[in-house]
Amino acid sequence: MNTLKLNEFKALYKALKTGVVWVDYLLLGVLVWIEEKLIDNRVRVELDEAIKEWETLHPPSIQSPVYTESPSDTSTRLPEMRITSAWYIDTVEGPKGR
């Protein structure tokens, strides 16, 4: 749709309008294209700044996983390996007599 959204571009179009229909339509198309690129750029910059500000106010709190290895009593004699989250507390105890 060939409509201008910003008042600055509307005023610029009124000032540059020639009265020749095809020239005015071409001018309107160029101004709409430039306006869309300008709006996209403004939105992208504002979002990037907001994300950077949010990241400085809320630092990441990612903890690395915990790797544990314990001997196994199986016939293959391979150790038991576990990767768990840092906040997980292992409360299950193995069989008695180990």
- What H or E segment, with its residue span, contains residue 19? none
Q: What are phi and psi of 88, to 5 degrees?
A: -80, 130
pLDDT value of residue 92: 57
C-alpha span between 26 and 44 (Å, rounded): 27
- What's the pLDDT score for residue 49? 97
pTM listed for this prediction: 0.58
Q: Where are the beta strands (DSSP E) in the chain?
A: 66-70, 80-84
Give the mean pLDDT per block of 10 residues along the chain (98 residues): 88 95 95 97 97 88 79 74 74 54
Instruction: Residue 4: name the closest of 17, 22, 18 by CA.
Output: 17
